[in-house]
A and B are shown apart, each in its own frame.
Chain A
């Protein structure tokens, strides 16, 4: 096998193997990072197409395009794909590419496992997507798969869904273990924990969250599997179980999961803003402590997703106040980003634009989150489009903009060429306008009472729904611009310098552009 023999050569001087087997057998962190990112990008278009199907049906009241059963499958698959197939793999991809470069390591600590954790993913999602073509149809119980919808009343394809979740869980856990081991053991001499770039810090904390909660998700789907096929009754009241237990176990995973999807974006933004403000990050230590506090708090707030299931008053109050507490470390972060920019020499290249939009729009999502945290008010907001508006604000201009900002920021380092700045800015403005036109009206129709996950609605919601659909198409199709920009930058363009950005600091900017196949065979020394 060519790869195997090639690896016995001197490591600094050989490139990748040729052909398709390079990608199948690779243990190189850059190859695997690229594969994660392309996988995530592909899934973005698949999950995005599903979102556009949903929005098309909701363009007008009444049922026009699809059957309600298919609508349910679309909302479920859209959610699952975007959470597990787009945001999480994109972050793992960025970590694969950038963590070794940022800490001065030659590769990830466990390269074989790295290969495996990626290659499980296409099979997991292949299995999940194939359920669309089965007679029973795809899972239709929402991405939160509440029992008994996902057990007693589930389509027979639920078993494929369960194994799909098992596989993506194993993949995430292996990825997380790899990242922790790399960060703890392979840092260059002199790089103490408190000298690590913030992206590395946020990923270290995220990886711990993943190791703590992905097994719980695996546990809850295993309980479903046993209820469905082996006659247990974890969630079936008839046999002594309790469907509310499902929600507790699910959200014990689910709430840390939402921080898994945002903490690495905090890290990316904390790299980008200092670069383009040409000032060091304001309050580095407080950023680290704030991230750790958020991670800790994420374990004790899960029941704020369940205010309406009939919790005792004391429990509601505890979860309400604990949830509101999260606003404090999050506020620390937002003010640190703003303070970093204060009196900086700012320029507004595409990564900075996305990072700025992240700060503003994520904060809007944070505020609507605070509104939802108020237990008595949540009884009105629960399961309405207000919730949809809230979590899309934190996930799309939050997590996704963070990822896109990171892609633009590091793209010249990956490809060796600057991307087309004009097209990048065009992509930004289309995305920025599209995202707000899509999701801002959802706040209003949600407050007015439109329930989520329903394919039809009352006439008074028609105008805002039509606007949201127009926005969704603008946003969706403008992502094709990103695809074009990335391909164009791979194929050529203005050669990037090693430093790439004038104000950039960190080990990743000390190596040539494009980053050679093997870097830091000799560890750099960090002062």
Chain B
């Protein structure tokens, strides 16, 4: 390339403008870099947003066990759904399809997982609550979904879930579905 500076290319008119142009360009480059950072900032922002609003059933936990006032006048039907992510070979089931609970009472549910393969595996269950409005009222002191589950080849195990529904649950919600999807977390084993 030639040794002349770029501003000479464009004639006299722009020479006096060039410092100003460099300035503007620099600010715009900074803006672009900032937006690149913003793209990554969307990741924690998304998690915070989901936690605040309860979208996605992202339950924070485990919580400290607090004895609520038990609202015996209401009965909430809590349904359990289990799903295997594509390619996950485990047997994974809820041992009860549904339970009826009074808001405020602590309830234990059992889940069953079995690794039928000939290799040791690590699984991670990802929870979700429907309707999402109910998410913030679901409190768990213990859940197999809080940590990875390791199963040796052929090993099976009961996994507990201890939860309670906050009595402040809006009155129009009568049924809550808790869904768990099990993933092969071998690549992320801790």
Contact = CB atoms under 8 A, between A and B. Distances in A.
Interface of A: 1, 3-5, 7-8, 11, 25, 27-28, 105-113, 173, 176-178, 180-181, 184-186, 211-220, 223, 231, 233-234, 236-240, 242, 244-245, 248-249, 252-253, 310-312, 315, 518, 520-523
Contact of B43 (A218, A245, A311): A245
A311 B55 contact: yes
Interface string B25-63: 100110111111111101100100000010110000000
Nearest to A245: B46
Contacts of B141: none
Contacts of B132: 310, 312
A242 to B, nearest CB: 7
Contacts of A110: 6, 21, 25
B14 interface: yes
A7 B13 contact: no
Main secondary structure of the interface of B (DSSP, over half): helix
A522 B20 contact: no
B11 interface: yes
B133 A312 contact: yes
B66 interface: no
A185 B3 contact: no
A218 B185 CA distance: 27
Main secondary structure of the interface of A (DSSP, over half): helix
Contacts of B34: 215
Given A109-B21, A237-B181, A239-B124, 6 more contacts: A27-B9, A111-B10, A214-B35, A219-B36, A223-B39, A245-B43
Interface residues of B, number: 46
B107 interface: no
Given A110-B6, A214-B32, A238 B188 contact: yes
A237 B126 contact: yes
A204 to B, nearest CB: 12
B129 to A, nearest CB: 11
Contacts of B9: 7, 27-28, 107, 111-112
A456 to B, nearest CB: 22
A231 B37 CA distance: 20
Interface string B150-185: 000000000000000000000000000000010111
A234 B183 contact: no
Contacts of B184: 238
A2 B3 CA distance: 12
B12 A521 contact: yes
Contacts of A109: 10, 14, 17, 21, 24-25
A479 B25 CA distance: 38
A185 B43 CA distance: 36
Contacts of B118: none
B40 A177 contact: no
Given A233-B188, A248-B46, A211 B35 contact: yes
Given A215-B39, A237-B183, A248-B46, A7 B25 contact: no
A173 B32 contact: yes
A177 B36 contact: no
Contacts of A311: 55
